[in-house]
Structure 1
Amino acid sequence: MNVYDFDKTIYDGDSTADFYIFSLKRHKKILLLAPSLFCAFCKFYVFKIGTKTQFKEKMYRFLKYCDIEKDIKDFWSINLGKIKPFYKNQQKEDDVIISASPEFLLAPACKELGIKYLMASVVDKNTGTYSGINCHGEEKVRRYREVFKSKPIDEFYSDSYSDTPLAKIADKAFIVKENKLSEWDFTK
Structure 2
Amino acid sequence: MKKLAIFDIDYTITKKETLMELFKYVIKNDKRNIRFLPRAIYCGSMYGLKIYDERKVKEEFLKFIDGIREQDLAKLVRRFYDEKLKTILYEDAIKMMKKLKSEGYDIYLISASPEFYINEFHNIKEVDKIIGTKFNFKDGIFTRTMEGKNCKGEEKVRRLKEVLENEKIEVNFKESYMFSDSLSDKPLLDLVGKPYLINYRKKHEIEILKWK
How would you bin the TM-score normalised by the shorter chain? 0.7 to 0.9
Q: Distance in 1 between matches of 2:12 and 2:181?
A: 5
Residue 87 (structure 2) aligned to one of 63, 81, 89: 81
Q: Does 1:61 align with 2:63?
A: yes
Q: Does 1:9 align with 2:12?
A: yes
Match of 1:43 in 2: 46
Match of 1:171 in 2: 193
Q: Distance in 2 between matches of 1:97 and 1:118?
A: 5
Q: Distance in 2 between matches of 1:57 and 1:43?
A: 13
Match of 2:177 in 1: 155
Please report how far the alpha carbon of residue 129 of structure 1 lies from its aligned counterpart in structure 2 after TM superposition. 1.6
Q: Distance in 2 between matches of 1:18 and 1:128?
A: 17
Q: SS in structure 1 opposite 2:177?
A: strand
Q: Distance in 2 between matches of 1:97 and 1:74?
A: 20
Please report how far the alpha carbon of residue 65 of structure 1 lies from its aligned counterpart in structure 2 after TM superposition. 7.6
Residue 117 (structure 1) aligned to one of 124, 129, 145: 129
Match of 1:129 in 2: 145
Rate the CA distance shift 1:42–1:172 in 2: closer, same or farther, 3 A: same
Q: Distance in 2 between matches of 1:9 and 1:148?
A: 23
Q: Which one-letter code corresponds to 2:153 in the other structure?
A: G
Q: TM-score scaled by structure 1?
A: 0.85
Q: How many percent of aligned residue pairs carry the same amino acid?
A: 26
Q: Distance in 2 between matches of 1:13 and 1:32?
A: 23
Q: Does 1:24 align with 2:27?
A: yes
8 A Cα contact 1:60 1:128, kept in partner: yes
Q: Give unpaired runs (5+ residues) of structure 2.
A: 208-212
Structure 1 residues 131-140 or 36-45, which shifts more?
Answer: 36-45
Structure 1 residues 155-164 or 143-152, which shifts more?
Answer: 143-152
Q: SS in structure 2 opposite 1:74?
A: helix
8 A Cα contact 2:59 2:145, kept in partner: yes
Q: Give unpaired runs (5+ residues) of structure 1.
A: none
Q: TM-score scaled by structure 2?
A: 0.76
Please report how far the alpha carbon of residue 36 of structure 1 lies from its aligned counterpart in structure 2 after TM superposition. 3.2
Rate the CA distance shift 1:100–1:57 in 2: closer, same or farther, 3 A: same
Q: Distance in 2 between matches of 1:17 and 1:136?
A: 17
Q: CA RMSD in A?
A: 2.2
Q: SS in structure 2 opposite 1:60?
A: helix
- How many positions carry a matched residue from both structures? 180
